[in-house]
Amino acid sequence: MKTIAVKATKRADFGKKAAKAVRREGLIPCVLCGNGESVSFSVDPREIKSLIYTPNSYIVEFDFDGKTEKAVLREAQFHPVREEILHLDFYRIAAGKPVSIAIPVRLTGNAEGVKVGGKLALSARKLTVSALVENLPDEIVVDVTPLGVGKTIFVGDLKMENIKFVTPATTAVCAVRVTRASRGAAAAEGK
């Protein structure tokens, strides 16, 4: 999995007033939790832009005055009108412990159902997985070649080594939907 390096500045003040003061300076207030301790800090929005405005998932390497900490993004809070980032929550990565993170899904192949007029629909753009950091993939690749009209691939159908799916097994990943064209092709075959 790809890593992004971000320079962070620790904060001593907590609460609403302190967060508003940080935002007035043009920075984003953040919290890093995990392993029984939490660290409040702020980051420059330009450094975090490549982490937030992308479908990909990354491991973030923070630099706190020379000391590095690895983490994953847990939650991003946005202003409801201006859509600016209000707050970021990160979870610390501990060596030897599995990490839960949402990873994007990429479909490959040409589904059999699409060839006869069906429509391929991606239901889950990201799936949450749990694995050690070194085993985390950049994306989950799903081959849709054998998928017929009206058929669905569920999370329970996916098998990957060293990765446990946190997303429920009954969640649909993708499906080939029935269309008028596919109904017409099926009726022509039935005659």
Cα–Cα distance between 178 and 113 in angstroms, integer? 9
Number of domains into which the chain is organized: 2
What is the reported pLDDT for 160?
A: 86
Considering the domain architecture, whether residues 87 and 41 belong to the same structural domain is answered as yes
Considering the domain architecture, whether residues 12 and 83 belong to the same structural domain is answered as yes
Cα–Cα distance between 133 and 94 in angstroms, integer? 9
Q: How many CB atoms lie within 10 A of CB 94?
A: 12
Considering the domain architecture, whether residues 83 and 106 belong to the same structural domain is answered as no
Taking only the tens place, the pLDDT of each residue in 47-58 is: 888 888 888 888
Cα–Cα distance between 43 and 70 in angstroms, integer? 15
Residue 91: partners with Cβ closer than 8 Å, 6 or more residues away: 32, 33, 34, 71, 72, 74, 99
**Residues in the chain, pLDDT under 70:** 181-191
Considering the domain architecture, whether residues 60 and 109 belong to the same structural domain is answered as no
**Final residue of a structural domain among 54, 79, 94:** 94
**Final residue of a structural domain among 44, 71, 94:** 94
What is the reported pLDDT for 17?
A: 81
**Final residue of a structural domain among 64, 94, 124:** 94
What CATH number is associated with residue 129? 2.170.120.20
Considering the domain architecture, whether residues 19 and 78 belong to the same structural domain is answered as yes
Considering the domain architecture, whether residues 141 and 61 belong to the same structural domain is answered as no
Q: Is the pTM of this model over 0.85?
A: no
Secondary structure element (H or E) that encloses residue 177, with its range: strand 172-177
Cα–Cα distance between 31 and 92 in angstroms, integer? 10
Taking only the tens place, the pLDDT of each residue in 56-67 is: 888 888 887 778
Considering the domain architecture, whether residues 30 and 81 belong to the same structural domain is answered as yes
Tell me the β-bridge partners of 38.
33
Considering the domain architecture, whether residues 109 and 176 belong to the same structural domain is answered as yes
Taking only the tens place, the pLDDT of each residue in 13-22 is: 777 788 888 8
Considering the domain architecture, whether residues 58 and 115 belong to the same structural domain is answered as no
Structural domain that includes position 28: 3-94
Considering the domain architecture, whether residues 50 and 121 belong to the same structural domain is answered as no
